Structures are given as structure tokens and as C-alpha cells.
Amino acid sequence: MKESFRWYGPNDVVTLATIRQAGAKTVVSALHNIPNGEVWGVKEIKAHQTIIEKAGLEWGVVESVPIHEDIKQRIGDFEVYIENYKKTLENLSRCGIHTVCYNFMPVLDWTRTHLYKTLEDGSTALSYEINALRAFDLYIVKRVHAQQDYSAQEIYVAKRYYESLDDLQIKSLTKSIIAGLPGAEEGYTMEQFNKQIGGYSNIDTETLRSHLIEFLKALMPTAEACKINMCIHPDDPPYSLFGIPRVVSSAADIDLLFDAVPSLNNGLTFCTGSFGVRADNNLLEMFTKHAERIHFLHFRSTQRDEEGNFHEANHLEGDVDMYAMVKAALTEERKRKNLGRKDCEIPMRPDHGHQMLDDLNKTTNPGYSAIGRLKGLAELRGLAMGIMRSGF
């Protein structure tokens, strides 16, 4: 696995020097300053790339070139945005960057209700509390039709949860959910959020899926010509939120996607933490079935409970069988090597980490402090070496 680390750009508190010391070889980064839908020019790409290379690293993966909402809804200027997307891929390819992560989550990218859940050892983790989400939906957003999406018991519990919150907690919950987590590219005020949700009133799961498939069909000739591996990131969490469909959540979703657009350039970011939130996702089976098109790995673990809450666990603990996943990744790499495939080292980044030690006193991007991720990377590296050295 090619060890990588996400970097949010020159303003990231976690510097490239830190990333290098963590032992990562490849940087995962994006031009966050360019508004969604606009073309990334060669000049801007090169400038960012030069900063990374001066630090002795390479820019191996783009995470993400975001998909404009118009493309997801197929409204407005979606055709222009698809053409712009193709141009961005061509420009990235010109600069020698061939792996592009993206997602197709409507309105919200990854979502958590709490960004600093204190764990037993004093470190903090990102978490998702189901009653907080429901209370937000029912009593803070006051989404039309929200009542129809929950049982009477769920509404009762959510109401009690809402009543227990003070103004500050309501503010903080609202910020966590809609202000935009790092890399999400989009954040909303309450009014904008409601408007965005409204845009999906006529878009059901199958319609959204067809929009994704149409987008990919339009993109593939360019991706193939430019040798760009597109790798879609799963929905996080992997189910519908706020009554809006999500279509990259389950084994059936990815089967449908890759059946519809079989090109290997239509690939996957295998995020164990996202898929792992659903107990009905058999990660190893999903990985093995689509291994040849997994172009990027996000390795992290989540711990879920019966009610639907989850939080980020230590990388080698929680619900993900990380030993099995690392072994599966190494197996795929060996297979590619034997087939003579050039991409036989898959970029892997330790995803999210606990805020811990000195980082507890720093303001870093939630989930993206240095030490927690460094710990995750070190554990994953050790696990990989152990597997390789023990007769694998």
C-alpha cells in the first residue's frame, strides 16, 4: 500500500513536514479554493503540486474534485459542469495526477452530529448520535414531511432529546451538521439547507442513481483517454438523510454502479469506516468482488450500536476487521503485480483520527489532527508488515 496522508493546503495546521515525518509518501489533496463546478487550470494545479514536491512528497491523489449539485439533480447548467469536470481531468492528467476521489452524496458530504466526543482515555472522536440527527431534522430544521419518516416512538425520544438542549448546544449541533465538515466544500445556513433539501422533492433513489450513471457515462471516454482512475467515495453515513436518497451505501449499490458502467476507470474508494457503519455490509465480500477497481483506500474503523449511533474507533478496533481488510488489499496488490498492472501499489490513507496528546490544545480540522492519524498510519503499517512477513 502506498502510504498517504490528507493535506488541506497551505493553511492546514498539519504541515507537509509533519506528513513527511509520519512516513507518508503521497499527499492526498485538492484545490479547495476553486468553487464547485469551475475548471481547475494547469497553472493552479502546478502551483499546488510544486509546494508538495518542494516538501519532498508527491501529490498522488485528488480528494476531491467535487460534483456540482446541478449535476446531481440534472438541472440548470449541469452540461456545462460536466464539460468543466472533463477539462479538470485533462488538466490533472497533464500534470501527472491520475487518481481522483469524489462522492455523489446530495447536499451534504460526510455528516457527524458531534465532533469532539470524549473517550474514556481523554482523547476525542467524531461521532454520530441518531437522536441528535432526528431532533435536528424534526425540531430545528423542521423539515416538511419529516414526521412521516419516523415512528411515533422515535419522534417521542427525539423530542425529549431536543428539549434537553440549551441554545449553545443547538448552535453547535447545527454547525456540526450543516456548516460543512473539512473537505465538504459546501456549507449552508438553515435557509439554504431547506432550499437544497427541497430540490430533491422529485428525485427518488432510482432517479439519483440514473443521474450518477449518466454522469459517469459522459465522463468515461475522457477518464480513459487521460488514464484517470475515478474513485467514488461511499456515502457517510451509508443511508438516506433528511429524506434525500443516497446511492453509494450498500453492496447492491456498488454492484449496480459497476454493472452499469464497467470501465475500470470507474472505480471505488474503499472506505472501511463508511461502509462499516452498516451491519449488512460484508466488507470483505464487497472488497473482493470489486478489488480490481479499488484505486484508493480509506482505512479507519467505526463502532456502532443497536440504536444506530456510531463513533470513530481506534484504527485496529471497532467493527472493521482491519486485519482482513489489509490482507485483502495486499492480496489485490500481489495479483496486480502478477498481471503486470502498473497500479500495484494502492494509495491508502489512515482516515480520521482521534484528537489526542498535544493536539488536544490545537485547533485542527475535525478528524484530521496529526497525531491520531499518525498513530493510525503507524498501526496500519505494522499490521501490513506483520502480514507480509508471516508467510503471506
* Chain contacts with ligand DNO (rule: CB under 6 A): 63-64, 101-103, 109-110, 183-184, 233, 298, 352, 367
Query: Is there a catalytic annotation at residue 98?
Result: no
Which residue lies nearer to ligand DNO by CB, 63 or 333? 63
Instruction: Name the minimum Å distance from CB 186 to ligand DNO.
Output: 11
Q: Looking at beta carbons only, is 70 or 109 nearer to ligand DNO?
A: 109
In the bound state with ligand DNO, the residue whose beta carbon lies nearer, of 64 and 131, is 64
Choosing from 70, 253, 351, 359, the catalytic residue is: 351
State the alpha helices, DSSP H only, in the chain. Answer: 16-21, 42-54, 69-73, 78-94, 130-135, 152-163, 167-178, 190-198, 205-225, 251-260, 272-275, 283-290, 322-339, 370-389
Write down the catalytic residue from 271, 295, 311, 315. 271
Cβ proximity to ligand DNO: between 117 and 233 the closer is: 233
Q: Is residue 95 flagged as an active site residue?
A: no
Q: Is 290 a catalytic residue?
A: no
**Which C-beta is closer to ligand DNO: that of 258 or that of 275?**
275
Supply the minimum distance, in Å, between the C-beta of residue 207 and ligand DNO: 21
Measured from the CB of residue 372, what is the shortest distance to ligand DNO in angstroms?
Answer: 13
Contacts 24+ apart (CB under 8 A), 193-196: 193/107, 193/141, 194/141, 194/143, 196/69, 196/107
Q: How far is the CB of 63 from ligand DNO (least distance, A)?
A: 5
Contact 10, 51 (CB under 8 A): yes
Mention every residue, 6+ apart, whose C-beta is less than 8 A from residue 2.
Answer: 25, 26, 60, 345, 346, 347, 348
User: Is 121 an annotated catalytic residue?
Assistant: no
Among residues 333, 304, 374, 364, which one has the least CA distance to residue 128?
Answer: 304
Query: C-alpha angle 218/203/246, rounded to 5°?
Result: 75
Nearest approach in angstroms of CB 194 to ligand DNO is 22
Q: Which of 315, 352, 354, 359 is catalytic?
A: 352
For the stretch 209-215, contacts whose Cβ atoms lie closer than 8 Å and that sit 24 or more positions apart, written own/partner, are: 209/247, 209/253, 209/256, 209/257, 211/71, 211/72, 211/73, 211/74, 212/72, 212/104, 212/247, 212/248, 212/257, 213/257, 213/260, 213/261, 214/74, 215/67, 215/71, 215/82, 215/104
Q: How far is the CB of 155 from ligand DNO (least distance, A)?
A: 30
Decide whether 170 or 213 has the Cβ nearer to ligand DNO.
213
The catalytic residues are 233, 271, 298, 351-352, 368
